Amino acid sequence: MLLLSTDEPGLLLPAADWADREAELRGEAADLEQRLRQAEGAAQALQSGAGDATRPLLRQIESMAAAATQQQQVARETEQALRQQLRAAQHSASVAAEAQRQAEDRLAALQASSAADRQAAARAQAAADEAQRRCQEEREQSQQLTAEVAALRQQAAAAAAAAQQQLAEQQQELQALQEQLWEAQGQVRGLAAAAAAAAANSAALATVQQQSQQPGSTPGATGGGSGMGSRPRSELSTPEAANGTAAQQQAEAEEHSGEAWKEVGRL
């Protein structure tokens, strides 16, 4: 704490120096009071026995007493001024201490806020780094997926080309089988016509046999020559053979047609 000196106006002194100065002034005041009492005692003694010869000394004593009184007044005024200065200095020191405390509080708050800001900035930076890492990973995955899609497209194009070629081959096979089927159907129709003709011949032969076996027929009709007796047998054997051959050919044609339809169904 600093105070103003009365000897040198405007000079700042510590509080301890002011205390020493105050003690010194109090000592001087006590010394002056003691000298005043001594002077008064001497004046009374001189007044009782000296008369006119002691009057200059009395005036000197009175002057010294007045000076001592004035010094005491100055000392009291100085002490009062010092006390006021001390109270003002203490008040200023208290205000300064409060201001310092508030400044320290604000500094602590700012430091805490700065620490929080640094932590928030660190967290934000970490989040940004993590987002950048994820973005890089997603970019790499996207590139990988793009490459895989391109490979799959190439594979699909190759598979489509192979399937197109296979389809063309199957269409050619189907066309060939269709032609075979049409040929087989023609053969079946031809064999069916042959079978119908053979059946008609067989029916005619059966009619002839029935007529030849009826009672009352003439010998010439039954045996009038070996030619009539052997002719029915030859005619009978010929249609049967024709029917068997036609049936066999028809079965083969139907089998061939069935196989052709199976091939068409598989395609």
Statement: residue 254 has pLDDT above 80: no
Q: Is residue 129 part of a domain?
A: no
Please tell me the predicted confidence (pLDDT) of residue 15.
64
Q: What is the C-alpha to C-alpha distance for residues 260 and 183, in angstroms, rounded to an integer?
A: 10
Q: Is residue 138 part of a domain?
A: no
Statement: residue 2 has pLDDT above 50: no
Q: Is residue 239 part of a domain?
A: yes
Q: Is residue 87 part of a domain?
A: yes
Q: Is residue 69 part of a domain?
A: yes
Please tell me the predicted confidence (pLDDT) of residue 98.
92
Give the distance between the most distant pair of CA atoms in the chain. Answer: 235
Q: Is residue 68 part of a domain?
A: yes
Number of domains in the chain: 2
Q: Is residue 28 part of a domain?
A: yes
Which among 83, 102, 118 is the end of a domain? 118
- 120 against 224, higher pLDDT: 120
pLDDT digits (tens, 9 = 90+) for 48-88: 665 566 667 777 878 888 888 888 888 888 888 888 988 88
Statement: residue 7 has pLDDT above 50: no
φ, ψ at 14 (rounded to 5°):
-70, 160
Q: What is the C-alpha to C-alpha distance for residues 188 and 209, in angstroms, rounded to an integer?
A: 31
Q: Are residues 14 and 103 in the same domain?
A: yes
Q: What is the C-alpha to C-alpha distance for residues 201 and 26, in angstroms, rounded to an integer?
A: 177
Q: Are residues 85 and 180 in the same domain?
A: no
Statement: residue 237 has pLDDT above 60: no
pLDDT digits (tens, 9 = 90+) for 160-178: 888 888 888 888 888 888 8
Q: Are residues 8 and 96 in the same domain?
A: yes
Q: Are residues 103 and 187 in the same domain?
A: no
* Mean pLDDT to the nearest integer, 140-164: 88
Q: Are residues 12 and 98 in the same domain?
A: yes
Please tell me the predicted confidence (pLDDT) of residue 102.
92
Angle of the 15-49 helix axis to the 55-212 helix axis, nearest 10: 160
Least trusted range by pLDDT, from 33-37, 45-49, 200-204, 241-245: 241-245
Please tell me the predicted confidence (pLDDT) of residue 257.
63
Question: Which pTM was predicted?
Answer: 0.30
Which among 94, 118, 142 is the end of a domain? 118
Statement: residue 16 has pLDDT above 60: yes
Q: Is residue 235 part of a domain?
A: yes
**Alpha helices in the chain, H assignment, sequence order:** 15-49, 55-212, 219-223, 226-266
Q: Are residues 182 and 84 in the same domain?
A: no
Q: Are residues 180 and 112 in the same domain?
A: no
Q: Are residues 167 and 108 in the same domain?
A: no
Q: What is the C-alpha to C-alpha distance for residues 84 and 75, in angstroms, rounded to an integer?
A: 14
Q: Are residues 92 and 185 in the same domain?
A: no
* Mean pLDDT to the nearest integer, 96-122: 89
Q: What is the C-alpha to C-alpha distance for residues 88 and 98, in angstroms, rounded to an integer?
A: 15
Q: Are residues 114 and 6 in the same domain?
A: yes
Which among 118, 150, 182 is the end of a domain? 118
Range picked from 34-48, 177-191, 210-224, 235-249 for highest mean pLDDT? 177-191
Q: Are residues 113 and 199 in the same domain?
A: no
Cβ neighbours of 63 (radius 10 Å):
11
Question: Residue 52: which domain range?
Answer: 2-118
Name beta bridge partners: 3.
13
Please tell me the predicted confidence (pLDDT) of residue 41.
80
Q: Are residues 111 and 180 in the same domain?
A: no
Mean pLDDT of the chain: 75
Closest CA to 205 of 171, 231, 170: 231
